[in-house]
Every structure is written in structure tokens, then in C-alpha cells.
């Protein structure tokens, strides 16, 4: 069968009313401009909607199949499907990439999801709410070039969600904050702005905060198993095990991720600076370029704390994230050198139990 791919090329004809299968999967000019017509016909673009042991589950225009393992791609990636040599499928340049430091004692950086447009940072109006964790997720999102939105769930279980909303708003002017009951039809309305057709969204957050419930609310069906937790135990147990893109009929694509308890920043200095842009701006006013914002004369940060313009707790959280990121970003050689000195600091700063 001969397919007409002209509509997916940069010089596309006038807007068509019907969205193509590729458009619905998130195909847009950013990807189209990376390939020419011939490549498009020979190796059709497909999106990785799930990663399994047996390979990558890919979907495209009239395509729904598994590419055997071997291609270095993650969920959300766009591939050019080469059926003759599936292992050498080209991975298109990514719009965004959410990554983290690999869990355990491994030293690598692990890709979590590619080409996500919006990440909903989910927490609940209870013991799970933790400003430091929200800042960490926000830094991760900004660093990945993904728009973060904070979603506060379980508003129905508190008398007044306002203090949670205020604390979340204080983190950054660049993030919307939404508070809702994740059950029922509220999420579909409240998140509609970010869940338009062709967009890809993801949920990040601890186990039990309502990520699966939100996903199901958007999907309008029980696609993802949710878990009942005791309401006096905000932690809950880990239930979601797959990383998969779900298509919402007539809407966006939703990635459901496993609870990311071990999330550590690595190479995320730019993202940290985005979240803490107030402090980043102050630092430029310090007298010394290498100011540690400790006892140096002419320190703009210390002055801001003294004058009540900067919350010392926020400064402390910034220092911790900086230390963690610096440690995780160091080269293997540097790390071995720094291991002893930094190990203790990072353990204290991140609350991680042991590194080895
Ligand atoms: N009352 C109330 N319960 C909620 C709300 N959001 C989630 N829950 C309940 O909290 C429990 C956990 O929700 P899940 O959606 O499974 O949480 P999750 O974040 O997907 O958890 P993991 O899959 O472990 O990462 C379920 O019993 C939900 O019904 C909410 O806004 N209000
Ligand atoms: Zn300073």
C-alpha cells in the first residue's frame, strides 16, 4: 500500500480537519523537519508507547508492532521504523528528555521518558506534601525542558487546601498549581488546558498520591490499576509497574510512571537555577564570584536572609539540591576522589541510607 506522507512534512498543505494518526500520537514539525520525504516513505515514523523485555512497542500510521531489543530508545521516543534492520532504527532528536540518576549504586543516568510536553507533579494534601520534593521534581522537569504543573490531590480529605496551595505557589512563579479531588470528572476539566490532542503528559510523584487515579480520570475508564491505601498512611505501597503511554480518546497521550522513590538529580544545574531563580539572581550580587554564601563579606544571599527577603529554609534546600547535583554530576574519577568527603554530606543532605 502506498501511503501519502506529504501532510507530515514541514511544507504541509493547509490544516486538515481530521487529525492523522501521527498527529494524534504527537507528531509535529519539530520531528518532521528532521527527515526527508524518501526516508519518510521507506522508514515510517513510529512512537514508542511502551518498553518491554521483548522489545519496544511502537505505533504509527497503520502500524502497531514490537521492535526487538537493541535500539537505544525510551518510552515517548520517535523512531524511523526500519523493518529490514530493526536494531538500527534511527531515533529522532528529542524535544525533551526526563532522566534521573540510576537507582542503587549504579553511576549512570537513566532516561525515563522522551518528548513529554507537560509533567504533572502530583502530591496530596496530607503527609506526602513536601516542599523539598516538589522543588526536586520541578528542577528535574525544568532541566528536561518539560513544563511542570503541580497537582495537589485529595482536597476532599482536608478542611482547607489553601495552605497547601500557598506553599506550592511559593516554590516558583513559573509553575501553575491545581488542587483537586482526583476521583470523578474534576481532573478532566482542571487539566484540560495541558491535555489537548497531540500533547503528551506525564505524572510524577510518590506512591499513593493519585497518579493512576488521575490517569484513569482522564481516560474515563479503569486502564491503570489503582490501589487502596489506608488514609492515615500517606505512603502506601508501590503498585504501578509499567511505563506506558495511554491515548485518551480525542485527547492527549498520558504516560504513567512507576513511583519514583529513588529520584536523584544529575546534571540538573540549569533546572535547579530555574526553580530557585530568586536565589540565582541574588548570587550575581555577591562581591566574590566564588562566594559560598557563608561568612564572606558582601554576600547578597546572607544579606537577603538577614533582611527577611529570603526564607533560610529555602536557602538550605537550595544548598542540598546543589550538593546532590554536584555529587551526582561529577565524573567517575572525580567521584572516586570526592566519594569519601562528599559521601557523608550527601547522605545527610538527601536522607539516603547508604551509598554502598
Ligand atoms: N479521597 C481521595 N482519594 C484519592 C484521591 N486521589 C487518589 N485517591 C485514592 O488514593 C489511593 C491511591 O491512588 P493511586 O491513584 O493508586 O496512587 P498512585 O500515585 O497511582 O500510586 P502508585 O501506583 O503506587 O504510584 C486510591 O485508593 C485512590 O482512590 C483524591 O483526590 N481523593
Ligand atoms: Zn554570597
Cell of 212: 493512576
Residues 6 and 38: beta-carbon distance below 8 Å: no
153 pLDDT above the threshold of 50: yes
Domains for the chain: give ranges and CATH numbers: 6-91 (2.30.30), 97-256 (3.40.50.300), 269-350 (1.10.40)
Separation of CA 136 from chain center: 11
What are the CA-CA distances from residue 62 to residues 35, 107, 304, 332 (Å)? 19, 40, 59, 45
Mean of pLDDT values over 297-318: 96
Distance CA(309)–CA(279), nearest Å, equals 10
**Higher pLDDT residue, 301 or 8?**
301
What are the CA-CA distances from residue 76 to residues 24, 32, 110, 143, 152 (Å)? 13, 16, 14, 17, 25
- Centre of ligand 2 from the C-alpha of residue 339, in Å: 26
Substitution candidate for ligand 1 out of 154, 213, 224, 246 with most atoms within 8 A of CB: 213
349 pLDDT above the threshold of 80: no
Residues 22 and 80: beta-carbon distance below 8 Å: no
For 23, other C-beta atoms within 10 Å of its C-beta total: 16
Q: Which of 98-107, 218-227, 330-339 has the highest mean pLDDT?
A: 98-107
pTM beyond 0.90: no
93 pLDDT above the threshold of 70: yes
Q: Which of 232-236, 245-249, 291-295 has the highest mean pLDDT?
A: 291-295
Question: Residues annotated as binding site for GTP?
Answer: 153-156, 205-213
| pLDDT at 229 (0 to 100) | 36
| pLDDT at 54 (0 to 100) | 87
Cell of 27: 507528531
Pocket of ligand 1 (CB under 6 A): 153-154, 156-157, 181-183, 205, 207-213, 226-229, 236, 238-240, 259
Q: Are strands 244-247 and 97-101 parallel, antiparallel or unpaired?
A: unpaired
Mean of pLDDT values over 230-259: 61
Distance CA(296)–CA(302), nearest Å, equals 9
- Centre of ligand 1 from the C-alpha of residue 55, in Å: 30
**Quick one: what percent of the chain has pLDDT higher than 70?**
77
| pLDDT at 151 (0 to 100) | 98
Summarised one tens digit per residue, pLDDT across range 44-73 is: 999 999 988 889 999 999 999 999 988 999
The Cα diameter of the chain in Å comes to 74
234 pLDDT above the threshold of 60: no
Instruction: Work out which ligand 1 atom sits closest to the CA atom of 256.
Output: 20
| pLDDT at 260 (0 to 100) | 52
Summarised one tens digit per residue, pLDDT across range 262-281 is: 567 778 889 999 999 999 99
Torsion of CA 27, 30, 32, 33, to 10 degrees: 180
Distance CA(208)–CA(234), nearest Å, equals 7
Q: Which of 5-9, 164-168, 291-295 has the highest mean pLDDT?
A: 164-168
Amino acid at each position: 500500500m502506498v501511503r501519502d506522507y506529504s501532510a507530515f512534512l514541514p511544507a504541509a498543505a493547509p490544516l486538515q480537519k481530521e487529525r492523522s494518526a501521527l498527529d494524534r500520537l504527537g507528531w509535529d514539525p519539530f520531528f518532521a523537519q528532521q527527515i526527508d520525504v524518501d526516508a519518510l516513505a521507506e522508514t515510517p515514523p513510529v512512537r514508542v508507547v511502551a518498553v518491554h523485555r521483548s522489545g519496544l512497542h511502537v505505533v504509527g500510521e497503520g502500524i502497531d508492532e514490537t521492535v526487538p531489543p537493541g535500539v537505544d530508545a525510551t518510552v515517548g521516543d520517535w523512531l524511523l521504523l526500519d523493518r529490514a534492520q530493526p536494531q538500527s532504527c534511527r531515533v529522532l532528536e528529542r524535544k525533551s528528555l526526563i532522566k534521573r540518576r540510576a537507582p542503587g549504586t549504579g553511576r549512570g543516568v537513566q532516561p525515563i521518558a522522551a518528548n513529554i510536553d507537560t509533567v504533572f507533579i502530583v502530591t496530596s494534601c496530607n503527609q506526602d506534601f513536601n516542599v523539598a520534593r516538589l522543588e526536586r521534581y520541578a528542577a528535574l522537569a525544568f532541566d528536561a525542558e518539560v513544563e511542570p504543573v503541580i497537582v495537589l490531590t485529595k482536597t476532599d480529605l482536608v478542611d482547607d487546601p489553601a495552605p497547601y496551595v500557598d506553599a506550592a505557589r511559593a516554590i516558583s512563579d513559573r509553575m501553575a498549581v491545581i488542587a483537586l479531588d482526583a476521583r470523578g470528572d474534576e481532573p478532566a476539566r482542571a487539566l484540560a488546558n495541558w491535555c489537548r490532542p497531540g500533547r503528551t503528559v506525564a505524572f510524577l510523584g510518590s506512591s499513593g498520591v493519585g497518579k493512576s487515579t488521575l490517569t484513569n480520570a482522564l481516560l474515563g475508564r479503569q486502564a491503570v490499576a489503582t490501589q487502596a491505601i489506608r488514609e492515615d498512611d500517606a505512603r502506601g505501597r508501590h503498585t504501578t509497574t509499567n511505563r506506558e503511554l495511554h491515548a485518551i480518546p480525542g485527547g492527549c497521550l498520558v504516560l504513567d510512571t512507576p513511583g519514583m522513590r529513588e529520584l536523584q538529580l544529575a546534571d540538573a544545574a540549569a533546572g535547579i537555577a530555574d526553580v530557585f531563580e530568586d536565589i540565582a539572581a541574588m548570587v550575581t550580587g555577591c562581591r566574590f564570584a566564588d562566594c559560598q554564601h557563608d561568612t564572606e563579606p558582601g554576600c547578597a544571599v546572607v544579606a537577603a536572609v538577614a533582611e527577611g527577603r529570603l526564607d533560610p529554609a529555602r536557602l538550605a534546600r537550595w544548598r542540598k539540591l546543589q550538593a546532590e547535583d554536584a555529587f551526582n554530576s561529577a565524573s567517575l574519577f572525580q567521584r572516586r576522589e570526592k566519594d569519601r568527603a562528599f559521601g557523608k554530606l550527601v547522605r545527610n543532605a538527601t536522607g539516603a541510607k547508604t551509598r554502598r
